[in-house]
Amino acid sequence: MLKFIRDNAKGVVAWIIIIIIIVPFALWGVNQYFNEGGEVIVARVGDRKISQNEFQNQFQRELAMRRQMTNGAAADAGLKREVIDRMVNTAVVTRSAQDAGFRIPDARIGQRIHSMREFQQPDGRFDPDLYARVLASAGLTVSQFEDGMRSDMVVEQLISGFAETAFVTPHDLDTLLRITEQRRRFSYLVLPASDYKDRVHIDDERIAKYYDENRERFAVPERVSAQYIELSMPAIAAAVAVDQDTLHRLYEEQKSSFAVGEERHAHHILIAVDENADEAKVTAARQRAEALLAEIRSGKSFEAVARTNSDDSGSASSGGDLGFFTRDAMVGSFADAVFSMTPGELRGPVRSSFGFHIIRLDEVHPGSVPSFASLAAKLETDYRNAKAEERFFEISERLADLTFQHSDTLNVAAEELGLPIQRVDAFSADRGEGIAAESAFRDAAFSTDVLESGHNSSLVDLGKNRVVVVRVADRQPATWLPLAEVREGIKRSLIRDDAAALARHDGELIMERGAAGGKMEELAHEFHGQWHAEATVRRDDQNVNPQVSSAVFSMPRPAADTATYKGVELDSGDFAVVTLYEVIDGNPESVTAAERSAHEGAVTNFLGQLAVRDLLESLKERTKVKVFEDRL
């Protein structure tokens, strides 16, 4: 594109281009393009700035994930707002947690990373090279990922700590159990709508009137057929040639990066003390560590001492277990100590920036270099993908240029790039098959520039390293299905509605006669209804029609020796008449300890969520938050 402008920007064309560039600068200023020292800011949370690039990266990741989960059917409507709201909420909580002094030790972050399957060998061992490669493929450095994880864990620490303050009183739990364990005694009858169909007559005049009054229900939206050129990285990769000499050369160049560094498995106990603490606090922490070490040397379980005394909340619950880790995963003095020990050795106190550690080395996994045979397939895939990535961006840029320069045809781009022009037939703006099932493809086809002006689309990103350029081939204008084609469907619908109305009429009559003293079973027989005898059920009873059950448990409690009645229009069109005789409250004393505990946990969890929601709203009120909607 830039080459096209450079080659053709002469004379009048050059002046037009200059005006196009200068006018926006004059109207909105340079800062609209170079905000905050080169970054466009989409939101501020206190002094935290969320850049447009940061937002777009998160938005595209979530959009791609949704489309993958829905086979391309997910659209981005409303997603931008969801993403920025979530990023703002995270920033608000992170700021508050940091202001409150929440900190995550390096050892805990290391333990979390080592436990992630994405970074482990099949045998469960952490692979530092795999870790680096996975992050690199995601466009992240180790420090960026670990800083993000530290932020997430700080947020998690604050949120979980606040949620855990929720509780439910015994009295409130008893009240809940009386309701949830409640039973109700009732009967009901059903008047099938199908029994009334013979009493319904629908004439042609009514059908025509319904058609005219509901014309939009029979609309056939505009549909188009489209041509397109697709470029995908997997297709390019499949065509890349690779030989054994190349693979052996790559192996020799990269084998050191595939080498698995030595890993060590250790337990530790942390006695926390600030790096800048005064001498009295440092001495007290050291003495406490020495006392604990003495207990362990005298025979007390290391794990038991760790659970009770370690200040590392991430490992204390597991007896101080840090799992396997490499030297660079831990802070210097701690790593130096661990990697100079022999299995079974106990050492301490070891001072680090977090405090004093008591360390037990459990096991050592020596480093190793995988064989060529074990890496050949991966080397070939990586080589193909690397070459394909280079070609993909090169070809996609050329595809964009050619289809823009020759906006009235795909032929030029197809011939020069050797890519086939493909076709997809009739699809609407809301629905399509094949590649037209992709919402991004349909959006491009129905955009004004493509549909009305007849131009090629710009590059459309379909995710998974696939892009297309779309061109409308044929248009089928919006129309309506003719009356003759929908007549029978309209008639069936009207018969169904009228039959349901007749059933409802008889049902209301039955309720009136029941309230006047009529016996419901006799009325059911008189009106040819389906009788369901008296039963006593709980809310979760699966043997009752869900709509009937919902009606039963929404009815007011009847007075002594009386009944209450309710009519229910069922989804089938049938009409049910429900008679409620008695409400029997649950007995909290009859609930087992396990059931009571489960109810208490569910209520506490719900109250915890409400508490977190209220906390978030309170924090946002106290934090200056500004979202620039027009920059999303």
Q: What is the pLDDT of residues 500-554, one digit of tens each?
A: 999 999 999 999 999 999 999 999 999 999 999 999 999 988 899 999 999 999 9
Q: What is the pLDDT of residues 452-493, one digit of tens each?
A: 999 999 999 888 788 999 999 999 999 999 999 999 999 999
Distances (CA, A) of 605 to 165, 179, 475, 613: 10, 19, 55, 12
| Angle, alpha carbons 544-545-550 (nearest 5°) | 95
Residue 431 and residue 346 share a domain? no
Q: What is the pLDDT of residues 429-446, one digit of tens each?
A: 989 999 999 999 999 999
Residue 226 and residue 214 share a domain? no
> Residue 488, Cα to own-chain centre: how many angstroms?
44
Distance CA 477, CA 485 (A): 19
Distance CA 467, CA 394 (A): 13
Domain that holds residue 20: 1-33
Give me Rg for the CA atoms of the chain: 35
Residue 578 and residue 491 share a domain? yes
* pLDDT confidence tier of residue 19, bands split at 50, 70 and 90: very low
Residue 214 and residue 228 share a domain? no
Characterise 37 by phi-psi region: left (phi > 0), alpha (psi -120 to 50), beta (else).
left
Total residue count of the chain as it appears in this document: 632
What's the half-sphere exposure (Cβ side, CA atoms, 13 Å) at 231?
Answer: 24
Give the orientation angle of helix 593-622 with respect to helix 170-180, to 10 degrees. Answer: 110
Tell me whether strands 575-584 and 466-476 are parallel, antiparallel or unpaired: unpaired
Residue 3 and residue 29 share a domain? yes
Distances (CA, A) of 459 to 232, 393, 416, 451: 12, 12, 17, 15
Residue 465 and residue 490 share a domain? no
Residue 495 and residue 473 share a domain? no
Is 39 within a domain? no
CA dihedral 497, 498, 500, 503 (to 10 degrees): 170
Distances (CA, A) of 346 to 320, 326, 361: 13, 19, 7
Per the listing, tokens 């070939």 go with 380
Distances (CA, A) of 295 to 282, 384, 434: 20, 59, 69
Is 110 within a domain? no
Return the pLDDT at 71. 55
Is 161 within a domain? no
Return the pLDDT at 358. 94
More confident residue, 30 or 176: 176
The total of structural domains in the chain comes to 4
Return the pLDDT at 137. 67
Lookup: tokens for 196: 């009334």
Q: What is the pLDDT of residues 315-358, one digit of tens each?
A: 888 899 998 888 877 888 898 999 999 999 999 899 988 899 99
Return the pLDDT at 614. 87
Q: Are 304 and 358 in contact (CB under 8 A)?
A: no
Give the orientation angle of helix 279-297 with respect to helix 302-309, to 10 degrees. Answer: 150
Is 589 within a domain? no
Is 192 within a domain? yes
> Residue 214, Cα to own-chain centre: how many angstroms?
39
More confident residue, 403 or 106: 403
How large is the greatest C-alpha to C-alpha distance in the chain, in angstroms? 99
Instruction: Assign 362 to helix, strand or coil.
Output: strand
Average pLDDT over the chain, rounded to an integer: 86
Q: Pick the last residue of a domain from 424, 443, 477.
A: 477
User: What would the mean pLDDT of 373-386 be, rounded to a whole number?
Assistant: 87
Residue 306 and residue 340 share a domain? yes
For residue 69, is pLDDT > 50? yes
Segment among 67-71, 315-319, 561-565, 568-572 with least mean pLDDT: 67-71
Residue 229 and residue 214 share a domain? no
Residue 465 and residue 431 share a domain? yes
Return the pLDDT at 125. 81
For residue 108, is pLDDT > 60? yes
Lookup: tokens for 472: 């409308």
Q: Pick the last residue of a domain from 415, 447, 477.
A: 477
Is 103 within a domain? no
Residues whose CB is less than 8 angstroms from the CB of residue 181 and which lie 6 or more positions away in sequence, other chains included: 538, 585, 586, 587, 588, 590, 591
Residue 387 and residue 343 share a domain? no
Return the pLDDT at 498. 97
pTM above 0.85, yes or no: no
Residue 235 and residue 198 share a domain? no
Is 411 within a domain? yes
Per the listing, tokens 């489309």 go with 67
Q: Pick the last residue of a domain from 477, 498, 528.
A: 477
Residue 586: CB atoms within 10 Å = 18
Is 149 within a domain? no
Q: What is the pLDDT of residues 131-172, one digit of tens each?
A: 887 887 666 778 888 888 888 888 888 888 878 888 899 999
Q: Are 472 and 426 in contact (CB under 8 A)?
A: no
Per the listing, tokens 């929720």 go with 166
Return the pLDDT at 10. 43
Work out the end-to-end distance of the chain between its first and last CA atoms, rounded to an integer number of angstroms. 25
Per the listing, tokens 């920036």 go with 353
The pair phi, psi for residue 570, each rounded to 5°, is: -80, 155
